[in-house]
Structure 1
């Protein structure tokens, strides 16, 4: 039997474009078109016409500059903490034998399905003003208020983000560790290498791509996190997503909200692009 003749290059290109058309149309309708509407609204002040006045008003406000700085430093700090904590916990689960290690690894998968506000509520039950920790303290000392009042500060938001996003770093790390050849660890240990050197010279290079992938995901998610900041009740902590909410819902300033949304998108894409560039140069 002879093979059927191959289709001409022009026909193959036509079929490729035909198969690519539905997802491109879906992407345009679900994402690109709404994004274009947001960008267009950001150039249309309430007074009418098209101008840069909404951008000038937003950039001149102190609330926007503080929200921008808070968003960036919270995202970077949470990403760094998640990378360190996630790497350490993944090492323990993957290489330190203890009963229930497999169950803990599966719990990480389940944890990823939890909504962010659920983790924040759990922290509020533990460390909130009327939480368990403050209740035990006041019951033991008779004081009027407990010492745990940090959840309504930036440090409380940081704790909640690290608690929620650390499994997003652990999942790719555990997958990478499961494929690591344990013979390399045994050879390094037989040659007299200490555990810290084995981790630095053998484990870390193998896990670096997974570590950068998890870190990039956490960075983008932290830049756009809304529920954690809202449910902690941190009134002095305003990020770009919460500023979009306040301008659109509370102030009815839709052009200003669209300006902040556009800046949030640009900051997210810019920081993520910088993260990818650094990770590629580092060999990830």
Structure 2
């Protein structure tokens, strides 16, 4: 006669007891996030369906704003500046990271710390510093006697954004370079490959995921940049964030500003989704 042994059941009381406090801890941040973020977004979206006098206008404000050539120009200018700044950051940041990783020299660690410190600075400090040097009443203008307009143009805005956002490229690319196997460089060098060929055919393809992630993040940040454009004094450079500021604060046209803000939000979310898609594809390839 055989006896059957039943497996002891695990107690569920302790699990049920921990669900309550855990759920309470989760609800608190969600409520704060919903009130702090959800309410302003809902207010902006609702405001976009009103007119200048705060009366419900349906889609009339949307149709008027979206058909405005100035808005079309601002969208193009925003994407143009973000694209040029991102390209400049990728080129400059990759070069700096490459030198710091593969060309050892005294003081490299201090330079890395300085680059990291730039990220903690407010974005308007760099255009102010560049304005002191290259502005209409800056140092260079006082020396040469010319009225420089570099900082009040698209070129000045792009240069200021490159100077501020390059560290966002340097750090992830430098981390990718630091994990690159040095034996690959030795093998390529022994096979007769020159420095340029090694850099373009051996090193850069291995850090392509970091470059794509850094470029996507930089494009997203420059797409929403406001302080740099404002403090360069570029009056003719009208981006979407600047147009939102002008319409709401200067012109008191909150309905039109709300439409442009929703447009900016949709553009930013689209770029962010593209950024997440790029990361997901590279993670799938690398098996992360």
Report the equivalent of 2:232: 232
Report the equivalent of 1:131: 138
In 2, are the aligned partners of 1:79 and 1:215 still within 8 Å (CA)? yes
1:85 and 2:84 are equivalent in the alignment: no
1:39 and 2:39 are equivalent in the alignment: no
**Structure with the greater alpha carbon radius of gyration:** 2
- Between stretches 31-40 and 199-208, larger displacement belongs to 199-208
Report the equivalent of 1:72: 79
Report the equivalent of 2:114: 107
Query: Aligned to 1:151, what secondary structure does the other structure show?
Result: helix
Considering only aligned residues, what root-mean-square deviation do their CA atoms show, in Å?
Answer: 2.5
Q: How does 1:245-260 map to 2 (within 5 A)?
A: 245-260=245-260
Alpha-carbon deviation of 1:41? 1.1
In 2, are the aligned partners of 1:42 and 1:258 still within 8 Å (CA)? yes
- Between stretches 149-158 and 8-17, larger displacement belongs to 8-17
Report the equivalent of 2:242: 242
1:49 and 2:49 are equivalent in the alignment: no
Report the equivalent of 1:274: 274
CA distance in 2, matches of 1:105, 1:255: 45
Offset from partner CA, 1:147-193 (integer Å, 9 cap, x none)? x3221111111111111111111111112222222222223222322
Runs of 5+ consecutive residues of structure 2 not aligned to the other structure:
1-7
Change in 2 beyond 3 A, CA 1:213/1:13: farther
Aligned pair count?
Answer: 275
CA distance in 2, matches of 1:79, 1:239: 16
CA distance in 2, matches of 1:8, 1:186: 61
Offset from partner CA, 1:118-141 (integer Å, 9 cap, x none)? 000110011111111222213xxx
In 2, are the aligned partners of 1:219 and 1:272 still within 8 Å (CA)? no
Report the equivalent of 1:60: 67
1:29 and 2:35 are equivalent in the alignment: yes
CA distance in 2, matches of 1:55, 1:230: 26
Runs of 5+ consecutive residues of structure 1 not aligned to the other structure:
139-144
Change in 2 beyond 3 A, CA 1:9/1:256: farther
Alpha-carbon deviation of 1:275? 4.4
TM-score (norm 1): 0.88
